[in-house]
Structure 1
Amino acid sequence: MNAGINKQMLVSIIMPTYNCEKYIEQAINSVINQTYKEWELLVIDDGSEDNTVEIIKELSKKDSRIRFVKNEKNQGVSATRNIGISLANGNWIAFLDSDDMWDKTKLEKQMKYAEKTSAEFLFTGSSYINEDGEYYKGIFEVPDKVTYKKLRNHNVISCSSVLIKKRLFDNIKMEKDDMHEDYAVWLRILRTGILAYGINEPLLIYRISRNSKSGNKIKSIKMTYKVFRFIGLNPIVSIYFTFRHVIESVKKYKKIFAK
């Protein structure tokens, strides 16, 4: 790490990637274009078989803040994010999936909000694009803060919008790719009494893909149920909160896909 960098203000951005040659340059450029400049980007390839690695290497030559890491074998998104967290130099962690993008003011607005409020866990609203980069009309609005109890009713925290203190991962890791692993982590962190603070602006540009976990609705419902079981809720309570999620998700996507 550069000796001149203030570790307390440094944001370590974790970007796991796998066969994402079509979108990864846009994702990385959205980081390079941030108005907040105190960042490092850890791009961790999880065994890509397309031109993803070549694109990352070329971009890393243009900006020394980009660090390329390659897993020896495919480990899945949870393990890959955990590797990124373990290698991070910053006091702050942000996540960005390799097919999503950020508004150029995303980090600056979150860091200013954190400085003003002493928040340690922040997230933002989202706009949505399809696989061809075309915007949907609706945006996802978020509350100004979320508790553990509120988050059980609906996951309003998009992983690629999160900015969070690294210390909160000292005893909590991402696990189990057969569920919504990020949601499970947010619940476990908030259950310790931490609050998550939302910035109600579409600072995340989220790409809806047919191949994503959330793209298959039946699979997504099952994965939500697994989250509640994983954090220790009994089957009946888990079914109840899963049903709440289905209702909220229908409302969410109806608004996003509005004509």
Structure 2
Amino acid sequence: MISVNKKESLISIIMPAYNCEKYIKEAIISVTKQTYQIWELIVIDDGSSDNTVRIVEELLNHDERIRLYINEKNQGVSATRNRGILLANGEWVAFLDSDDMWQKTKLENQMINAQKLSAEFLFTGSSYINDDGDNYQGIFEVPEKVDYWKLRTQNVISCSSVLIKKKFFENIKMEKDDMHEDYAVWLRVLKTGVFAYGINEPLLIYRISRNSKSGNKIKTIKMTYKVFRFVGINQVGSVYFMVRHIIGSLKKYRKIKIKS
């Protein structure tokens, strides 16, 4: 384990949850198995009608670092993540969607790199599974670092792979669930002049779901265009970067297929 100051190095993990009884236990267990153990997990249920809340309650009885909050009504993923950030006690914030999982060294590797590189924004590569937990061949490889200009050409930052200083959210919030709200945040953070540092290892296990935003390709193209317009890029530029994203996505998913 790396040498850390516990107060300064607490990681607050934000997990929105909505009707995810099938996956959330695996997601939470992947947190409890982390080799880096200075964390709190903030699970916020956004109006689930299934057994999501009961499953989380069972798990938090075995680990006091897990905290559960329940939205009075469905607010959407952006507002739910924003609430989690406000509730966070850590200097660092990580995000984990309730259907994704982490490899056990994910947080430790990121904290080691944060110290080594004096980094304040980090992300990792990914492996992929489908709705049933079947593995896909191929992994998503990421560059050593990206800036604002580079990230416009392809979003290489998966939300569930991010570790970032909480201070960046003092003036930047997640907004508009009808676009890729996390991508808009990464662009706005990088626009301040910082770099995001990638760990080119598949430390995130990303679930490709038929019902997710990324599962509908036409929808995700439209949402990507909205991101560019939201961060202030003109129409011509937004179309240009949207096309770049389409090309990048085709290359990305061409490498991925379910293992036989």
Determine if the TM-score, normalized by the shorter chain, exceeds 0.5.
yes
- Class of the TM-score when normalised by the shorter of the 2 chains: over 0.9
Residue 160 (structure 2) aligns with: 160
Residue 117 of structure 1 deviates from its aligned partner by 1.1
Q: What is the rounded CA distance, in whole Å, between the counterparts of 2:176 and 2:140 in structure 1?
A: 26
Q: What is the rounded CA distance, in whole Å, between the counterparts of 1:7 and 1:190 in structure 2?
A: 26
Q: What is the rounded CA distance, in whole Å, between the counterparts of 1:169 and 1:256 in structure 2?
A: 34
Amino acid at match of 1:206: Y
Calculate the TM-score normalised by the size of structure 1: 0.97
Residue 6 of structure 1 deviates from its aligned partner by 2.3
Q: What is the rounded CA distance, in whole Å, between the counterparts of 1:194 and 1:178 in structure 2?
A: 27
Unaligned runs of 5+ in 2: none
Residue 54 (structure 1) aligns with: 54
Q: Secondary structure at 1:232's aligned position in 2?
A: coil
Q: Secondary structure at 1:153's aligned position in 2?
A: coil
Q: What is the rounded CA distance, in whole Å, between the counterparts of 2:153 and 2:13 in structure 1?
A: 28
Q: 1:151 to 1:172 in 2, by over 3 A?
A: same
- Cα deviations across residues 62-82 of structure 1 (Å, max 9, x unaligned)? 100000010010000000000
Is residue 163 of structure 2 the alignment partner of residue 136 of structure 1? Answer: no
Residue 116 of structure 1 deviates from its aligned partner by 1.1
Is residue 182 of structure 2 the alignment partner of residue 191 of structure 1? Answer: no
Identical counterparts, % of pairs? 74
Residue 24 (structure 1) aligns with: 24
Amino acid at match of 1:178: D
Superposed structure 1 runs of 4+ greater than 2 Å apart: none
Residue 258 of structure 1 deviates from its aligned partner by 7.4
Q: What is the rounded CA distance, in whole Å, between the counterparts of 2:14 and 2:42 in structure 1?
A: 5
Residue 11 (structure 2) aligns with: 11
Calculate the TM-score normalised by the size of structure 2: 0.97
| Preserved contact between residue 15 and residue 98 of structure 1 (Cα < 8 Å) | yes
RMSD: 0.9
Is residue 167 of structure 2 the alignment partner of residue 177 of structure 1? Answer: no
Residue 44 (structure 2) aligns with: 44
| Preserved contact between residue 7 and residue 89 of structure 1 (Cα < 8 Å) | no
Amino acid at match of 2:244: R
Q: What is the rounded CA distance, in whole Å, between the counterparts of 1:258 and 1:207 in structure 2?
A: 12
The 5 A counterparts of 1:106-255 are 106-255=106-255
- Cα deviations across residues 192-225 of structure 1 (Å, max 9, x unaligned)? 0010000000000000000000000000000000
Is residue 93 of structure 2 the alignment partner of residue 93 of structure 1? Answer: yes
- Cα deviations across residues 79-137 of structure 1 (Å, max 9, x unaligned)? 00000000000000000000000000000000011011110000000000011111100
**Count of residues in correspondence between the two structures:** 255
Amino acid at match of 2:60: S
| Preserved contact between residue 144 and residue 197 of structure 2 (Cα < 8 Å) | yes
| Preserved contact between residue 138 and residue 258 of structure 1 (Cα < 8 Å) | no
Unaligned runs of 5+ in 1: none
Residue 7 of structure 1 deviates from its aligned partner by 2.3
| Preserved contact between residue 11 and residue 90 of structure 2 (Cα < 8 Å) | yes
